[in-house]
Amino acid sequence: MESAIPDFTKYKETIDTNPKWQEKVEALQQIENAIKSRPDSFSTIQEAVIQFTLLVSKDYKVANINLLKASYSIARTVIQLCGAGPRACKPVIEFCVSKLHDKKIGSDLSELLSCIAERIGPNSVFDTVVCSQTLVTLRFGPSCFIWS
C-alpha cells in the first residue's frame, strides 16, 4: 500500500501508536481519501486494503465505534470503486451479517451489504445470511425464528 499512498507509513504509524482515537480515525479517513482520489491505483491491491481494515479494527471487533465505522468505510470505498471480489468481501459480509441488529451501525451495514451484492452478486451475501441463520437454528432450535 506504500506505493499507492505516499504517506501510508505515516498514517499507519499514527494508527498503530497514537493513543487518541480521533487521530487514528483521521488517518483512516486520509487513507480513504487517497483511495477515492486514485481508485485505479488500488484495483490490484483491493484485497490487501480490506485485510488492512481487518487488522486495524481487530477483525471488526474494535470497541471504539468511530474506528469501526472508519474501517468499514474504507472497505466500502474499495468495494465500490476498485471492484473487490468475493474472496476479499467474505470477511466484510460475515461482519455485516453478524452486526445487522446493532442500532448504531445496522443501517450502514445494510447499505454495505447492498453495495457488495451489486458488485459481486447477491449469492455471496445470501449464502452468508442463510448460513448464519442455520447456525442460530442449530444452536437455539427452530423456535428462535417464531415471533408472537
Please give the model's pTM, rounded to 2 decimal places.
0.83
Q: For residue 20, what is its C-alpha cell? A: 487518541
Which position has the grid cell 472508519?
Answer: 70
Which position has the grid cell 471487533?
Answer: 61
Residue range 115-136: mean pLDDT, rounded: 80
| Res. 144 pLDDT band, cuts 50 70 90 | very low
Percentage of the chain lying above the pLDDT 90 cut = 57
Residue range 88-97: mean pLDDT, rounded: 90
* Cα 25 from chain centroid (whole Å): 14
Return the pLDDT at 129.
79
**CB-hemisphere CA count at 13 Å for 83?**
4
Give pLDDT tens digits for 62-85: 999 999 999 999 999 999 998 888
Phi, psi of 84, deg, nearest 5? -65, 145
Select from 96, 90, 135 the least CA-distant residue to 113.
96
Q: What is the full DSSP assignment across the chain? A: -TTT-TTHHHHHHHHHH---HHHHHHHHHHHHHHHHH-GGGGTTSHHHHHHHHHHHTTTTT-S-HHHHHHHHHHHHHHHHHH---HHHHHHHHHHHHHHTT-TTTHHHHHHHHHHHHHHH-HHHHHHHHHHHHHHHHHHH-GGGG---
Return the pLDDT at 118.
92
| Res. 133 pLDDT band, cuts 50 70 90 | low
Give pLDDT tens digits for 25-50: 999 999 999 999 999 988 889 999 99
Which position has the grid cell 497514537?
Answer: 18
